């Protein structure tokens, strides 16, 4: 995204040395009962370990949530490839749900737990508010998020 350098510069300008912060990330929810759809340029399946590697323009959707990345490894639950247990996305990861968005270098989506762990230069936006941190865990059932590491934020005041 072209705004990322500007947003990062703004977040680094604010002194906010917080080790961890909880926040409501309301739009970042997913219908955990909805099917998970994956599209990509290429697919490699490894029958020996029960995984699949999607590469090139990978987009994963579940309900209104969309995750895109350069590549995504899908691990299936023990006992067959009928249920996904975890997806690991790497390279320019973007997670969007409603008005909320997140960018990171890696995201691990634990489908069974309904959580997404974002790591590597994480940048969250919610409307005009921006939050950056080292590690963010999003609970997709509740929409809550926990930001850890060097947390930086730009919070826009509400209009009177």
The answer to whether residue 128 is domain-embedded is: yes
The answer to whether residue 160 is domain-embedded is: no
The answer to whether residue 59 is domain-embedded is: yes
Higher pLDDT, 93 or 158: 93
Element (DSSP H or E) covering residue 144: strand 144-154
- pLDDT for 94-116, tens place per residue? 988 878 888 999 999 898 888 88
Report helix, strand or coil for 117: strand
Cβ atoms of 8 and 132 closer than 8 Å: yes
Cβ atoms of 11 and 4 closer than 8 Å: no
- Vertex 64, ends 126 and 66: CA angle to 5°? 75
- pLDDT for 139-157, tens place per residue? 878 878 888 988 888 877 7
* Full domain range(s) for residue 80: 4-154
What pLDDT does 31 receive? 66
What pLDDT does 57 receive? 94
- CATH code of the domain covering residue 89: 2.60.450.10
What's this model's pTM, rounded to 2 decimal places?
A: 0.74
For the chain, percent of residues with pLDDT exceeding 70: 76
Task: Domain count for the chain, please give it.
Answer: 1
């Amino acid at each position: 995204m072209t705004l990322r350098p500007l947003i990062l510069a703004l977040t680094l300008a604010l002194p906010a040395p917080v080790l961890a912060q909880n926040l409501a990330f309301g739009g970042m929810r997913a219908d955990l009962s909805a099917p998970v759809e994956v599209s990509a340029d290429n697919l490699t399946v490894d029958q020996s370990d029960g995984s699949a590697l999607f590469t090139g323009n990978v987009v994963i959707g579940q309900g209104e949530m969309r995750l895109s990345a350069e590549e995504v490894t899908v691990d299936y639950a023990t006992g067959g490839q009928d249920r996904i247990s975890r997806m690991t996305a790497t390279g320019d990861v973007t997670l969007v749900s409603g008005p909320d968005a997140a960018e990171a270098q890696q995201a691990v989506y634990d489908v069974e737990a309904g959580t997404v762990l974002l790591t590597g230069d994480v940048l969250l936006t919610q409307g005009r508010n921006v939050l950056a941190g080292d590690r963010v865990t999003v609970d997709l059932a509740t929409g809550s998020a926990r930001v850890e590491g060097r947390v930086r934020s730009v919070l826009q005041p509400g209009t009177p």
